[in-house]
Structures are given as structure tokens and as C-alpha cells.
């Protein structure tokens, strides 16, 4: 060998552990916490080194985290985008640095979809449709007006936009269904209680249905409904999205009428995608998580299965 230059024995393969920079949008709900632990556990089980930054609902903090990942020259960047818009500039910077991007959970509204390799997450529009279809069935024999109030998630987020649209598209041609109040409650229990209190104060006798974009807001709304002496699940029919254990418990108690599942356990899909990407393999542009609905009949059996 050349003086001082130690050749590695041929059989040594120096395998670099892939480094994933993950910008998580926050910790606002039980769903989000389950999403984070699923991703962290999957990374720990595989040989993927993960650096996660929690943006606590701030898109600017997500931009900062992504720019830091670029400086650190990570192998892949994953983003759970708090809102849909405003991503083009920072994703251009990542593209220039030659780092592949995975969009996880919510979606980014960009004109050039080559800015990300794949989007892994639910079909939120379908979740909204499932909620609407349940009401068509439940009230199929009733003709009088049905007043609906809607607790919306974070303004500008894909689940809030798409669940609202899917729901509206299904009830659109059934004029007895009327959305009489609709407001954002940011996917949190406290805000859900506060906004539901406002709805009840303004519209008490007219509210027959609550459509809530996530279970955490629903739990707050149930407190507000019960504080007024009304019976959730009976006086006010409640349809909610996520499928957390606490919502399924209320479902089995009859305080919720339908829970539309939104699966947070995206860790295995994300880590598998990272491995494929670093090996240079192509993966589908869109990976949709499979999801169900839970009724008062199926709730009890499901509760034991919920890890979140």
C-alpha cells in the first residue's frame, strides 16, 4: 500500500445510516402524539437516524427546521405541513440542495409536485364524505330541517379543508340538512369546548347535529353540551373524526354516534419510504392509509385495540 494509506480490507462495506430530518407540526391532539410516537418508534426499530423538530403549529418554525436540516445535509426530509400553502420557496431551497422530501399526513398545495417524492397520509375528503353519508342514513326518514354545527380544525390545513368539503358535497342535495354555524377550533379540546359553548348560546334549540373535524374538539364539545343539561348522542347527534380511545369510549357510552377513523400510525410507511429513497428506488407519488368507521355497535370491541 502507499506509505501511510491504509487500504480497507475488501470485505468491509461501510454502510451509512440514513439520516431523516422530520418537521412535525405540533402536539395539539392525541392523534398528533400517536403520529409522533409511531414515527419515532419506527425509526428506532430500523437503522434510520431521525432528527425531529416540533413546530408547535408555527409554519415559520417548520421553515427554520427544514433549513437547518439542509445545513446538516440530512439524507431525506419529511414534513407534516401545518397548513397547505406557502411551501414553494423553502421546498425550492431543498431541491437545490438535492435532498428528497416526503410529505406526511397533511398536504402541501404546490404547483410543481416534483418538489416532493411522495405524500403519505389519509384521504381527508373521503373522511368528510363518510361523516355526511352517516347523517343521510340516520335521518333518511325525517323531512324537517336538521340544524348542523361544525367544529373545524386548524384554518388552512388539509384535514379541515377536505373534511369540510367532503361533508358538504354529500349533504349538498339534501336541503333539510343546514349548516347553521361553523367555526375553527384548532383541533384542541379547550377550543372545541369554547366554540361549542358559543354555538349553544346562539343556537341552542336549533342544533340537532355536531360535525367535528377531530375527537379532541369533540370531547370539549361534549362537556359544553352536558353543562347545559343536554344529552350528547341523543339531543345532539355527534359525528367525529380520528378514532382515539377516548372517543371510542364515549361512542360505546352512546355520547357519540359515529367515529370516522383517521390513522396516525404512519411510522412504518414513512421509514420504509426513506429506505427505498436512499436505495435509489422509486416509490408511489401517493400512499393512502386504510381507514374504517366505528359505530356504537363496534366501539367496545375496538377500544382494546387502540394504542392511542
Residues near ligand GZL (CB under 6 A) are 28-29, 31-32, 105-106, 122, 159, 187, 214, 216, 241-242, 262
Find how far residue 50's CA is from the centre of its chain.
20
The residue among 105 and 302 lying less far from ligand GZL, judged by its C-beta, is 105
Nearest approach, Cβ of residue 29 and ligand GZL (Å): 4
User: CB 242 → ligand GZL: shortest distance, Å?
Assistant: 5
Task: Give the residue with the Cβ less far from ligand GZL, 36 or 46.
Answer: 36
Residues 210 and 218: their CA atoms lie apart, in Å, by 9
CA atoms within 13 A on the CB side of 190: 1
Shortest reach from residue 38's CB to ligand GZL, in Å? 12
**HSE of 179, CA atoms in CB hemisphere, 13 A:** 16
The answer to whether the CB of 291 falls within 8 A of the CB of 261 is yes
> At its nearest, how many Å lie between ligand GZL and the CB of residue 185?
11
Nearer to ligand GZL, 214 or 257 (CB): 214
Integer Cα distance of 278 and 76 in angstroms: 8
Separation of CA 220 from chain center = 19
Which residues, at least 6 apart from 83, have a Cβ–Cβ distance to it below 8 Å? 59, 106, 154, 155, 156, 157
Cβ closest to ligand GZL, residue 18 vs residue 153: 153
DSSP string over 11-39: T---PPPPEEEEEE----SHHHHHHHHHH
Instruction: Report d(CA 208, CA 202) in Å as an integer.
Output: 14
Q: Is 42 or 214 the residue whose CB approaches ligand GZL more closely? A: 214
Q: How far is the CB of 39 from ligand GZL (least distance, A)?
A: 13
Nearer to ligand GZL, 76 or 80 (CB): 80
Min dist. Cβ of residue 216 to ligand GZL (A):
6
Q: In terms of CB distance, is 223 or 291 closer to ligand GZL?
A: 291
Rg over alpha carbons for the chain, rounded to the nearest Å, is: 22
CB of 281 vs ligand GZL, minimal distance in Å: 26
Residue nearest to ligand GZL (CB): 31
Q: Say which residues have a Cβ less than 8 Å from residue 246's Cβ, sequence separation at least 6.
A: 30, 215, 219
Amino acid at each position: 500500500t502507499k506509505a501511510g494509506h491504509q487500504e480497507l480490507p475488501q470485505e468491509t462495506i461501510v454502510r451509512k445510516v440514513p439520516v431523516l430530518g422530520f418537521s412535525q407540526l405540533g402536539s395539539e391532539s392525541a392523534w398528533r402524539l400517536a403520529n409522533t410516537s409511531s414515527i419515532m418508534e419506527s425509526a428506532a426499530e430500523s437503522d434510520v437516524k431521525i432528527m425531529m423538530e416540533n413546530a408547535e403549529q408555527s409554519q415559520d418554525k417548520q421553515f427554520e427546521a427544514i433549513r437547518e436540516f439542509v445545513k446538516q445535509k440530512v439524507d431525506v426530509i419529511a414534513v407534516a405541513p401545518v397548513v397547505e400553502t406557502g411551501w414553494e420557496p423553502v421546498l425550492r431551497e431543498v431541491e437545490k440542495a438535492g435532498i428528497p422530501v416526503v410529505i406526511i399526513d397533511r398536504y402541501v398545495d404546490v404547483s410543481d409536485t416534483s418538489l416532493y417524492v411522495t405524500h403519505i397520509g389519509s384521504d381527508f375528503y373521503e373522511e368528510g364524505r363518510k361523516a355526511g353519508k352517516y347523517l343521510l342514513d340516520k335521518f333518511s326518514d325525517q323531512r324537517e330541517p336538521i340544524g348542523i354545527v361544525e367544529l373545524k380544525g386548524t384554518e388552512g390545513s388539509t384535514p379541515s379543508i377536505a373534511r369540510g368539503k367532503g361533508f358538504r358535497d354529500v349533504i349538498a342535495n339534501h336541503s333539510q340538512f343546514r349548516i347553521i354555524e361553523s367555526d375553527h377550533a384548532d383541533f384542541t379540546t379547550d377550543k372545541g369546548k369554547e366554540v361549542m359553548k358559543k354555538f349553544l348560546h346562539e343556537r341552542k334549540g336549533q342544533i340537532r347535529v355536531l360535525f367535528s373535524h377531530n375527537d379532541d374538539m369533540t370531547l370539549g364539545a361534549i362537556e359544553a353540551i352536558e353543562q347545559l343539561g343536554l344529552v350528547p348522542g341523543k339531543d345532539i347527534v355527534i359525528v367525529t373524526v380520528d378514532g382515539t380511545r377516548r372517543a371510542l369510549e364515549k361512542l360505546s357510552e352512546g355520547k357519540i354516534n359515529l367515529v370516522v377513523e383517521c390513522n396516525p400510525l404512519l411510522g412504518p410507511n414513512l421509514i420504509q419510504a426513506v429506505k427505498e429513497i436512499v436505495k435509489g428506488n422509486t416509490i408511489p407519488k401517493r400512499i393512502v392509509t386504510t381507514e374504517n368507521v366505528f359505530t356504537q355497535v363496534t366501539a367496545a370491541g375496538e377500544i382494546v385495540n387502540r394504542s392511542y
